[in-house]
Amino acid sequence: MRESWLSGVAVWRDDLLAAIGFLTRFPLASASQSWVSGRVYRAFPLAGVLIGIVGGTLYGLAVLVGLPPLVAAFFALAGIAVLTGALHEDGLADVADGFGGGGTAERRLEIMRDSRTGAFGALALVFTVGLKVSALAALADPWVVLSAMAAAAAASRAVFPGVIFFLDPARADGLGRASGIPDRETMILTIALGAALALFFLGPLVGTVALLAAAAAVALLALLARRMVGGFTGDVLGAAQQVAEIAILLAVVGMA
C-alpha cells in the first residue's frame, strides 16, 4: 500500500514538473509519457496556482513599497508575462489576427502561424491587459488580489483538456497531434481540480459565479473556433485560457 501511494505521488510530481516546464520558462525536464498519454493536463491547475501566487505576491510587494494599485497591477502582470513567456497572450493575439483577418479557414490558420502581430492581435492584447489591470486595481486589497489571481490562474489553465476533448484538431501537425488527447477521466479530474482551487480561494458564492462566467466565455470561444477554423489549435487553447482568466477576474470584481 505504501509503495503504491509513493508511486502515485511520484507520477503526480512528474506531471507537475512537466506542466511547470511547459507553462513557464523554468527549464524543467518534461515527462514525455505525461504528454503522450495526455495525462499532464491534470497538473495544469496546480502549476497555475503557483503562477497566480507569483503575480499576487508581486502586486503585494508593489503596494507595500507605496505604489498605487493601478501601477502594482501592471507590475504583477509584467512579472507573470516574464515568468510564462507571454505564452497564452501570444496565442490570443494570433487567434485575433486569424479570426479577424482571414476569409477562409485555411487562410485563418495561415495567419495564425505567422509570428508577426497584426492590428487585431495588438488590439486584443491592449483590451485584455487593460481589463486585467483594471480588475486588479479595482480589487485593490493585496490579499484579495492574491486570492483572485491564484483562482483565475488555476481555473483558467484547467480549461485546456475540455477544449481538446470536445473539439477536433484544426491542423494535422499542430498541438492536437504533437501531444496526447486527454481521456474523459483526465478531463473531468482537471476541471474538478481547477474548480476546487477557485472555490478554495474565492469562497463558494464568488467562486461559483466566477466559474460559470469562465465556462460561458470558453464555450463561446470554442464554438467560434469550430466555426472559424474547424477545431482547436495551440493558439486557440492560449486564447481560451486568457478569456477564462479575464472572465474570472471580472466576476470577482462584480461580486466585490
Residue pLDDT, tens place only, 178-227: 556 788 999 999 999 999 999 999 999 999 999 999 999 999 999 999 99
87, HSE (Cβ side, Cα atoms, 13 Å): 17
> Which pLDDT belongs to residue 30?
57
Q: Is the pLDDT of residue 35 over 70?
A: no
> Which pLDDT belongs to residue 181?
79
- Of residues 150, 140, 158, 134, the one with CA closest to residue 202: 150
d(CA 86, CA 127): 15
Residue pLDDT, tens place only, 80-103: 999 999 999 999 999 999 999 888
Provide the whole-model pTM.
0.93
Q: Counting beta carbons within 10 angstroms of the beta carbon of residue 153, is it exposed (0 to 12), middle (13 to 18) or buried (19 or more)?
A: buried
70-84, 104-118, 120-134 — which is least confidently predicted? Answer: 104-118
